[in-house]
Amino acid sequence: MTAEGTKRPIRRALVSVYDKTGLEELARGLHEAGVSLVSTGSTASKIAAAGVPVTKVEELTGFPECLDGRVKTLHPRVHAGILADLRLEDHQRQLAELGVEPFDLVVVNLYPFKETVASGATPDECVEQIDIGGPSMVRAAAKNHPSVAVVTSPARYADVLTAAREGGFELAARKRLAAEAFQHTAAYDVAVASWFASSYAPADESDFPDFLGATWERDNVLRYGENPHQPAALYTSGSGGLAQAEQLHGKEMSYNNYTDTDAARRAAYDHSEPCVAIIKHANPCGIAIGADVAEAHRKAHACDPLSAFGGVIAVNRPVSVAMAEQVAEIFTEVIVAPAYEDGAVEVLARKKNIRVLRAEGAPANPVEVKPIDGGALLQVTDRLQADGDKPENWTLATGEALSAEELAELAFAWKACRAVKSNAILLAKDGRVGRRRNGSGQPRRLREARGGAGRRGEGTGRVRRVRRVLPVPGRPGDPHRGGRQGRGPAWRFGPRRAGGRGGEEGGRDDVLHGDAALLPL
């Protein structure tokens, strides 16, 4: 059954909040509108201190707050007043017989459980911040939205005061408030359940919880998704990052802008030195490090100037005016950085449509979730945290030992290769990758070796970094010299040093081929 039509005046309100932002103004406004207030604990004290009449909940229930505040509002005189469906004569009769007055408005927000966990508090302190009475009141009021308005956010207080002065909320508004309330309690329950499953009481020692939950709120409806026939929207988790970046200039972000910008930020922050990554269609046009961001940008752009046209630029340092001047000369869809030096945004804004974003800090998602039909895959995010990602743990499999400069070049290529898809082949020199192109996402490594190096000899003096060290032998009859895919093709195209993960099938052949070609591996 749903209520139809009329507003429901606000005569009596129950207010119990942890976040007391705007509480005094709310209480004064309700009092001036003729609303009587009932409140709990520190909320009641703050309202009284503001000079507003308030009834403490223990005066209503005749039962004192107890157990260090664990029991305050769990009482029939509270919940009957919230849950009575005032459309029903029988409910009205029962309230009269019990001497219970109904509530028209419930204003509640919950204990800061997520913030307590994030602070590094002890398990007991976290458990103590699991709210019981608050969610009970919120859910009760949301269920009974035909008779009660429920508010869980201080951002709604202005709406409450307007409604109190103008005769109450319409049914449509009460429905919307109820929806927000259920979202509030759902997110809270997911946070508690996730903490229990992952940290407090894991089901096993796998490091993967037996319950996986997350909540997002819609931030913006986008023009379309990856293609014009695909509707799309942006949702945020409330944890900052790219999804909540501040846009300082330019057109509205698109779906593809977000995916490319996310890839660019990750690529730039793979490096500790000043780094610029230029991304198009989620793959690098160029990645480079330099003494400063202007130098890094020049080098990254020089990797593939044609592909960089209309690309996305990410920087892991504040953008300088010098770099902004360079970018302003090139058609760029998006630039994202942790900050901008004075005057840099004004230089970039010479281009009307370039999207200028400020996103503080490095990408921080600890895990990646990939939906599949009927489920999802979860993996730990690759932050180059494996032992093999550290040059000090590398071993020489064949050839002569590299100089410190050559080893640094190979280390740069190794990090940069994280940003492209397997089969991934990068050619690196002078702290930049991808002079002609970088190979990525292709099924045949030989083709990528050719594509990555271009014409024979173009890659001379370059460093080659591959997810699989060298092309593996192919099936007999493959149209390659000797009928085998990978009989020494990679070094025919010019790289002089190579690196890759060991231990894979065919790895011994890689060493033999590298040794035959006098290629340090």
Q: Is the dihedral of CA 243, 246, 248, 252 positive or negative?
A: positive
Calpha distance 38→53 (Å, rounded) = 9
Residue positions annotated with a catalytic role: 143, 281
Calpha distance 144→289 (Å, rounded) = 60
Calpha distance 141→84 (Å, rounded) = 10
**What angle in degrees, to the nearest 10, is found between the helix axes of 133-143 and 76-83?**
30
Calpha distance 171→148 (Å, rounded) = 10
Residue 388 corresponds to which tokens in the numbers above?
């093999």
**What angle in degrees, to the nearest 10, is found between the helix axes of 133-143 and 171-195?**
150
Bridge partners for 6 per DSSP: none
CA 156 to chain centre: 25
Residue 121: C-alpha distances to residues 112, 114, 115, 117, 127 (Å):
12, 11, 9, 6, 10
Calpha distance 83→144 (Å, rounded) = 6
Q: Is 8 helix (H, G, I), strand (E, B) or coil?
A: strand
What residue ranges in 323-424 does DSSP mark as E strands? 332-337, 355-358, 367-372, 375-380
Bridge partners for 312 per DSSP: 279, 334
CB 161, CB 29: distance < 8 Å: yes
Residue 384 corresponds to which tokens in the numbers above?
């180059």
In angstroms and rounded to an integer, the radius of gyration of the C-alpha atoms of the chain is 31
Long-range contacts of 229-238 (CB under 8 A, 24+ apart): 230/255, 234/258
Could you identify the residue written with the tokens 């192109």? Answer: 437
DSSP letters of 331-352?
-EEEEEES-B-TTHHHHHTTSS
DSSP state of 219: E
**What angle in degrees, to the nearest 10, is found between the helix axes of 23-32 and 157-165?**
10
The CA dihedral of 337, 343, 347, 348, to the nearest 10 degrees, is 20
Strands 332-337 and 497-501: unpaired
Count of residues for the chain? 521
Residue 284 corresponds to which tokens in the numbers above?
């690098």
Calpha distance 349→340 (Å, rounded) = 12
